Amino acid sequence: FSNAGSGFFIHPDGFIMTNWHVIADQVEMVFLGEMRELSLTVVHINVIVDPGTPNERKLPAKVVGRDRDLDVALLKVNYRPAEWITPSNGVQLDLMDDVFVVGFPFGDLLTFNEQGGISLKGYPEPSINAGRVTSLRRDEKNRIVAVQTDAAINPGNSGGPMLDSRGRLAGVVYSGISGGTQIGFAIAPQRVYGFYLDRVLKVKFYPPYIPNPRSSVKITVEPGILALNASRVSVRVDGAQCEAFDIDLEQADNGWEAVINVPDKPEGITAKQYYTASLRVYNSRGRTSFQRIYRLAEVESSQVGLKSRRDPEAMMRDRI
């Protein structure tokens, strides 16, 4: 079967954000009377650019990033858009704020011919639905995880952007509730921004924790969506029982790297400690172009043999 949804460019090099469930290779459906998860083979993913215009074209896309739990995916096409929306951490929403949902409700079913009837050729231009923020949904840690709106959201809107009154990304649409009430949801902008940051640069720690007894931790920084045109990269390590210290990363084949040696804990301290690694990337003018704080837990070496099935990147999700 085929699936359709919406998406939007987040970078001039052809990177597109959408929902994971729009391009998912796993779906839940009722099979033989029971809800089951089925694995699929994704044959191809097509992106329609400049829809509803003489320049409309269909381009093949590949998946370059995904987060199933967040329901966000990143696609790449060979196309340079004239405009794009860069996720930001500076969008703060309040109840009753105006928002606008952009996308393609019902996919190509709203394409009309010259006589005003439904056409089976081509695609429509995007639809824009206005509404307001009706609720800010929070998790058990009081973090906003979803934005509820009364803007009309229909099948096909999934993966499209929700914009605030200034045209900034206020979320990624992922769900609507049918049945007479206008209730729809978008992934909160801060969570979308976190997904975006994780792919702007590839930052990894080996191992992704602070060993006890102490051994070195290697940090690597490689280009992701953005080219790593850095004049300097540094990391500051700090902890409750550790005086903060700075390390400059050295240039490597694919990026920058350094070895971090965290000092031993003072005698008498037995409780596990958490450490922060504040990464800064400086551009050619010496200004900070990227900054992120990572939290690294202290792990006993005897526990490492348990071996988590999660890869190091997934284990680093708990970030500040």
Question: Which residues are tagged catalytic?
Answer: 21, 71, 158
- What tokens were used for 194? 């976190």
Residues 6+ apart with CB under 8 A from 170: 91, 93, 97, 99, 147, 161, 162, 163, 164, 186, 189
What is the sign of the dihedral through the CA atoms of 283, 279, 314 and 169? Answer: negative
d(CA 308, CA 269): 27
Number of H helices, E strands in the chain: 2, 23
DSSP three-state, residue 200: helix
Place of tokens 């526990």: 303
d(CA 185, CA 147): 5
CA atoms within 13 A on the CB side of 135: 9
The closest of 275, 193, 289, 195 to 233, measured between CA atoms, is 289
Q: Residue 184: enclosing H or E segment and its boundaries?
A: strand 183-187
d(CA 312, CA 8): 29
d(CA 277, CA 224): 20
